[in-house]
Copies of this chain bind each other. A is one copy, B any other.
Amino acid sequence: MKKITINSVASYAGVSKKTVSRVLNNEPNVSDVTREKVLKAFKELDYTPNPIARGLARNRSFIIACLYDNPSKSYITRLQSGALAACHQHGFNLLIHPCELRGQALLDNIEQLLQTSRIDGLVLTPPFSDHGELVAFLRQKKVPFARVASVKLDDESISVRSNDEQGAFEITELLIELGHKDIAFIKGHPDHSATEQRFNGYRRALAEHGIAYQEHLVEEGNFSYHSGADSAETILHLDPRPTAVFASNDYMAAAVLKAATQMDLKVPDDIAIAGFDNAPIARHIWPGLTTIAQPVEEMTRLAVEHLIEQINQGDNGDEEQQKEPLQITLEAKLICRESTAAPKS
Binds B, one of A115-123, A178-186, A194-202, A308-316: A115-123
Starting from the known contacts A95-B95, A251-B284, 12 additional A-B residue pairs (CB-CB under 8 Å) come to A50-B118, A73-B77, A84-B96, A93-B95, A93-B117, A94-B95, A254-B284, A255-B284, A257-B286, A258-B286, A262-B286, A284-B285
Binds B, one of A8-16, A51-59, A144-152, A165-173: A51-59
A91 in contact with B116 (CB, 8 Å): yes
B98 in contact with A51 (CB, 8 Å): no
Q: Which B residues lie within 8 Å of A116 (CB)?
A: 48, 51, 91, 93
Please give the number of chain A residues whose Cβ is less than 8 angstroms from any Cβ of chain B in the complex.
Answer: 39
Q: Measured between C-beta atoms, what is the minimum distance from A281 to chain B in Å?
A: 6
A81 in contact with B93 (CB, 8 Å): no
Interface residues in A251-310 (C-beta closer than 8 Å to B): 251, 254-255, 257-258, 261-262, 280-281, 283-286
A225 on interface, CB distance cutoff 8 Å: yes
Bound form: Cα–Cα A93–B225 in Å: 31
A73 in complex: contacting residue of B48, B74, B95, B262, CB < 8 Å: B74
Interface residues in A44-82 (C-beta closer than 8 Å to B): 48, 50-53, 55-56, 61, 73-74, 76-77, 80-81
Bound form: Cα–Cα A74–B285 in Å: 17
Question: Residue of B at shortest CB range from A229?
Answer: B284
Q: Measured between C-beta atoms, what is the minimum distance from A9 to chain B in Å?
A: 14
Nearest 4 interchain pairs by C-beta: A48-B115, A258-B286, A73-B73, A73-B77
Q: Measured between C-beta atoms, what is the minimum distance from A261 to chain B in Å?
A: 5
Q: Which B residues lie within 8 Å of A76 (CB)?
A: 73, 77
- Residues of A at the B interface (CB closer than 8 Å) are 48, 50-53, 55-56, 61, 73-74, 76-77, 80-81, 84, 91, 93-96, 98, 115-118, 225, 251, 254-255, 257-258, 261-262, 280-281, 283-286
Q: Which B residues lie within 8 Å of A285 (CB)?
A: 254, 258, 284-285
B284 in contact with A261 (CB, 8 Å): no
Question: Residue of B at shortest CB range from A83?
Answer: B96
Q: Which B residues lie within 8 Å of A52 (CB)?
A: 52, 55-56, 61, 118
A56 in complex: contacting residue of B53, B93, B251, B284, CB < 8 Å: B53
Bound form: Cα–Cα A55–B63 in Å: 14
Question: Residue of B at shortest CB range from A91?
Answer: B116
A73 in contact with B280 (CB, 8 Å): yes
Which of A53, A56, A286 counts the most chain B CB atoms within 10 A? A286
Bound form: Cα–Cα A285–B225 in Å: 11
Q: Which B residues lie within 8 Å of A74 (CB)?
A: 73
Q: Which B residues lie within 8 Å of A50 (CB)?
A: 56, 118
Q: Which B residues lie within 8 Å of A255 (CB)?
A: 284
Bound form: Cα–Cα A166–B156 in Å: 57
Question: Residue of B at shortest CB range from A50?
Answer: B118
Q: Which B residues lie within 8 Å of A280 (CB)?
A: 73, 225, 281
A117 in contact with B258 (CB, 8 Å): no
Q: List 13 A-B contacts (CB under 8 A).
A: A48-B116, A50-B56, A50-B118, A52-B118, A56-B56, A77-B77, A84-B98, A91-B116, A93-B95, A95-B95, A257-B286, A281-B281, A285-B285
Q: Which B residues lie within 8 Å of A84 (CB)?
A: 96, 98
Bound form: Cα–Cα A61–B255 in Å: 44
